[in-house]
A and B are shown apart, each in its own frame.
Chain A
Amino acid sequence: MGRTLRKRLAAVGLWLLTFVLMVIMCVPGLWVVLTAFRPNAEVLAKPPVWIPENPSLNNFAKIFGFGADQVAIPVPAYFANSLIIALTSTVIALLIGMSGGYAFARYRFRFKNGLFLGLMLSRTVPGIALSLPIFIIWSRLGLIDAKLGLIIVYVALNVPFTIWLIDGFFRQIPKEMSEAAQVDGCTRWQAFWKIEFPLAKSGIASAGIFAFLTSWNEYALASNLTRSTDSKTLPVGLMDFTAQFTIDWAGMSAMAVIIIVPALILTFLVQKHLIAGLTFSGVKG
């Protein structure tokens, strides 16, 4: 009895410790969230005002053009662009990544290591070396200031990375499982969807989160390839708060909250599927 109690106390203690550590880690980010609800005078206050004394939604109202004489920032358009671009590119990158990852994990073929390395090295190219040539090619193809243009770029950004991740997860699944299924009369294709895919779900889910967040938050290339509300994404929209002489940090923070919240919600939802990874290790045992 005393032992279980001690065990339980230790568990609670561990939880609290972890929680506190996580919160400390989040402080710089939480500061941004708090700033979103402050009036400007409080943002610059010295000595600092820790917890907003007059919390208000004014910064959000200003963004949407209520009350203030400021022209509204087209947040709904940016938001829609971001969502469409990030989701589409994530789904495509996952499909391509699954097929590629499966090839690397399950087959032996010539140039295997070379191809793998080549794919990885494609990510070593700094965006700055790519931005101008991509711009020139895209402008010939009419892909500047178009969602499709950005989607293609983000798929390419995410593919190598999705492949490695998914490859790693497929490797953890014993070959024998799908072989057994094939002996039982499944085609390789069926064996993949029935046996291997469900087991690799956790890997695919985390690859998906990464791909989504990369696309959702990418700034450098988006700022080069987008122009107007047709394609501008939320991170590029952040720069609407900067002018030659000023940065509206409170307004920018409010916009930041608008960017962060959906990403957070999606992450929380996809977490569920990450739990499938737990069952996976159980299956093996």
Chain B
Amino acid sequence: MITYIIRRLLYTIPIVLGVLLLTFTLFTLVGGDISLEIAGKNASKETINEIRQEYGLNKPLFLAWDSQLVNHFKNALTFNFGRARDREPVIDKIKRGAGPSLALMVPMFIGEVVISISLALVIAFVRGSKWDVMAVVLCVAGMSIPYLSFILFGQYFLAYKWGFFPVFFSPDLAPPQYVALPVLIGIVTGLGGNLRFYRTVMLDEMRNDYVRTAFAKGLGTGTVLFKHVLKNAMIPIITQVVLAIPFLFLGSLLLERFFGIPGLGYLMIEAIGSRDYLIINAMTYISAILFVLFNVITDICYAFVDPRISLE
């Protein structure tokens, strides 16, 4: 198993390097020279040249020990992401944004997974009934309503009108206070899609012989659902859940923006809007590492939940 894990980890190296090569190609060859943008209006040629020098844009692209490509790899591998346009170190921005983003995304993610799996089990059990139909209709309706509508509605009624939650982030509030409403909105909006997915997974399991056998042997509904069906449905659940974890790091743009949560989703979108390539590069690189790592973890989890899978 350890050999397998080491082998898989080694496979991740070319993937991460490939991502680095891709970001370099996009930012330098496709994206073009950013010195004009940094210089702003009324900048002289000499100022633009200075900017090119400071950002290393005057160096050769390839084929030199000090080329832009070599520096790109060197900086990424040493986690030296440089300074953003506003001169703040990129790594400081990421460190500061990770906490609020995770404070928002982790409870949202756990709540979404736990509630949707539980409801999916129950709905799959009552398949074909009016409750099942109602749930499917609600799921489709929930998926059809734009995310922004949930935010505007929640912020207007739950926060402003009825005062159950704060309207916006404030330094005086504790994290559970300012993330509560966005988490609730995030859970509700995510429920439709997740519930439909898990319902399908559970229905596939419900149709298997072992479920009928379990009921025939007189086992209780709860035992059959939570002990046997859930266990056997774990493979698609793990795939869905574990691979979603790296994206928690990226935060949620809309929720962060509307509720003033200073997280990484916000940071990333701002960076894209202002073409702050150093931030985009750092975030892409870290996301790529997390993604390949969690891919390996997913494979390991398969072996734990299904004895038929062995890691060789």
A binds B: no
